[in-house]
Each structure stands twice: as structure tokens, then as C-alpha cells.
């Protein structure tokens, strides 16, 4: 979709103390961000040579800028298991490493679209706060109605979009 003539673009020029470029942390690097997307990275001189004359709009002393991380195998719905594993009694000899699956299956059978959305969105917001900017979701919530119409897949995509993670 092309930007119209009336579109106002928000541009920031970030200057951190250190920025990861070419496999190492470097000083005096600018990062140009338009509408939340990195569009240029380089020294003031490099950006000027490419026709960009930019003033720093945001200094980040004591900070390092790194590329966003990717979680390529997320089970976001399992965020709902927090605290469940801690409920097993240590004296219970029938409890094994795999006992958590009972809690997971219980979670899955009680999952509806709203609960899945809230759990997934919270998980993705936490990922973003930790530096993860893209996620590959792997879920196995294939019980009706999700198995027939992929509704749970759409819920996960909406939660990702609303959280702001790719």
C-alpha cells in the first residue's frame, strides 16, 4: 500500500552508545527508524553520503542497540501453565518429569478463544519486552471447533498483531 501525500511519517534517529553492526558493537552509529521500522544504519558520514542529512532525535547513553531476537518455536498457550508444575508434592513418588503433561492437557481442554487470546498476547508482550521481535508459533490446540475452522490460528495471529510482534 503506497503512502498518500497526506501521510505523516514518524522518523526517529537513534544514537546509542554502542550499536551492533557487522558482527561487533560499534560507537557513533545512527539508526534511522520510520514508523517503527529500521530504514538505515550507519555513521553520520555514511548516511550523509547516501543523501541523508539527519539530526539525532534520541540519544541513548549507556545503552547498546542489538538486532531483535527470534523465537522460532513458541508454545505461547503454555504460559497458562505457570505455577502448575510447582504444585506437585516432592513426596509423591508417582510424579515424574512428564507429570506436567497432565496440567497441560487440563489447560488445553479448558482453552477457549478468549483465554487463548489473553494468554498468547501476554506471552508475546513479555517476549517483546525481552527483545524478541519475531515468533514462530507451534501449537497443538486441535480440538473442536479449532480443528475444523482454524479459529485458534486466527486468534494467535490477532494476539501477535495486537502485541506488536512479527
Domain boundaries defined on the chain: 11-65, 69-163
pLDDT in tens, 66-85: 999 999 998 888 888 877 66
Task: Considering only residues 13 and 100, tell me which one the structure prediction assigns the higher pLDDT.
Answer: 13
The larger pLDDT score, comparing residue 8 to residue 44, is at: 44
The yes-or-no verdict on residue 106 having pLDDT over 90 is no
Average pLDDT over residues 136-146: 70
For cell 495471529, what's the residue? Answer: 157
- Residue 114 burial class via C-beta count within 10 angstroms: exposed 0-12, middle 13-18, buried 19 and up: exposed
Instruction: Calculate the alpha carbon distances from 129 to 17, 58, 95, 120, 122 in Å.
Output: 20, 19, 34, 14, 11
- C-alpha cell, 157: 495471529
Q: Which residue has the higher pLDDT, 37 or 143?
A: 37
* Res. 125 pLDDT band, cuts 50 70 90: very high
DSSP reduced 3-state for 21: strand
**Residues listed for the chain:** 166
Phi, psi of 159, deg, nearest 5: -65, -40
With a cut of 90, say whether residue 126 has pLDDT above it.
yes
In eight-state DSSP terms, residue 1 is -
pLDDT of residue 78: 84
Query: Could you tell me which of 105, 113, 110, 96 has the C-alpha nearest to residue 158?
Result: 113
Rounded Cα–Cα distance for residues 139 and 155 (Å) = 12
What pTM, to 2 d.p., does this model score?
0.71
Q: Please tell me the CATH superfamily of domain 11-65, with its number.
A: Urease, subunit C, domain 1 (2.30.40.10)
Average pLDDT rounded to a whole number, residues 8-17: 90
Integer Cα distance of 136 and 39 in angstroms? 24
Show Cβ contacts of residue 95 under 8 Å, excluding neighbours closer than 6 positions.
88, 89
Amino acid at each position: 500500500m503506497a503512502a498518500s501525500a497526506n501521510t505523516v511519517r514518524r522518523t526517529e534517529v537513534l544514537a546509542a552508545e554502542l550499536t551492533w553492526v557487522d558482527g561487533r558493537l560499534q560507537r557513533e552509529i545512527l539508526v534511522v527508524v520510520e514508523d517503527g521500522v529500521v530504514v538505515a544504519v550507519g555513521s553520520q558520514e555514511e548516511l550523509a553520503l547516501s543523501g541523508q542529512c539527519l539530526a539525532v532525535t534520541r540519544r541513548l547513553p549507556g545503552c547498546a542497540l542489538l538486532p531483535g531476537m527470534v523465537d522460532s518455536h513458541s508454545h505461547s498457550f503454555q504460559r497458562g501453565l505457570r505455577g502448575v508444575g510447582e504444585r506437585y508434592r516432592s513426596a509423591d513418588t508417582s510424579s515424574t518429569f512428564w507429570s506436567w503433561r497432565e496440567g497441560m492437557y487440563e489447560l488445553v481442554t479448558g482453552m477457549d478463544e478468549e483465554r487463548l487470546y489473553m494468554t498468547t498476547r501476554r506471552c508475546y508482550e513479555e517476549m517483546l519486552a525481552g527483545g524478541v521481535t519475531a515468533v514462530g508459533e507451534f501449537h497443538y490446540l486441535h480440538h473442536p471447533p479449532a480443528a475444523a475452522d482454524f479459529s485458534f490460528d486466527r486468534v494467535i495471529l490477532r494476539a501477535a498483531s495486537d502485541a506488536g510482534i512479527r
